[in-house]
Amino acid sequence: MADLFSEEWANGFKDRWNADSDLAGALEKIGFNSNIGYGFDGEAKPRCFIRVENGRVTEAGSYGDQELNWDLRATAENWQKWMTKPPGMMGLGMAYILPRFRARYEKLTDFETIKHGLGWQLLEFAEFARSRPSVTEKTIGWMDRFYLNPDEIRMFMDEMPELYELPAENGTED
């Protein structure tokens, strides 16, 4: 058996994914496209990735800084358990509601929103959601756990001046 997340493993995973008509067929029907990274908790980067186009894996291999829509990490123990008994669609749905997985997914989604030029809208909503009279500190803590907070949004926008350059204050370009 190939080492978990090796090039050989990723290509075998690709073949099994594409051969599973319940999985690939269902995702093809909804036009599912995504780049998914796989790796271990605590490591700086995923170890491998797959590219899914219209439900089918079209590329698989070692992770090389490809843009990811999903970054799936778990302990070695959990990965080994899932290799013998995969979680299935219900298990994946349950994983979404687990705080650690959900936080990673939601924050990555916020970052993708910023990268697509919608940072101002995200920032406005984040500030609005936190300014409501009924919002408590506990609620703000919950929001910050799952979503980028306004300061984080501004920081990422500042790192993308080509998308978020502010106009000159007098209305003229310098």
Question: 1-29 b/e with 16+ CB inside 10 Å = b?
Answer: eeebbeeebbbebbeebbeeeebbeebee
pLDDT for the residue 13 = 87
pLDDT for the residue 107 = 82
Q: What global pTM score does this model have?
A: 0.53
In the chain, where does DSSP find H-type helix?
A: 7-19, 26-29, 76-84, 88-97, 99-113, 119-131, 137-146, 150-158, 161-164
Measured CA to CA, the distance from residue 113 to residue 109 in angstroms comes to 6
Q: Which amino acid, residue 105?
A: Y
Measured CA to CA, the distance from residue 87 to residue 135 in angstroms comes to 36
Instruction: Compute mean pLDDT per 10 residues along the chain, 174 residues long, and list them.
Output: 82 89 82 88 91 93 90 83 62 54 78 90 93 90 89 92 72 52
Tokens of 87: 């979680």
- Helix, coil or strand: residue 4: coil
Q: Are 5 and 38 in contact (CB under 8 A)?
A: yes
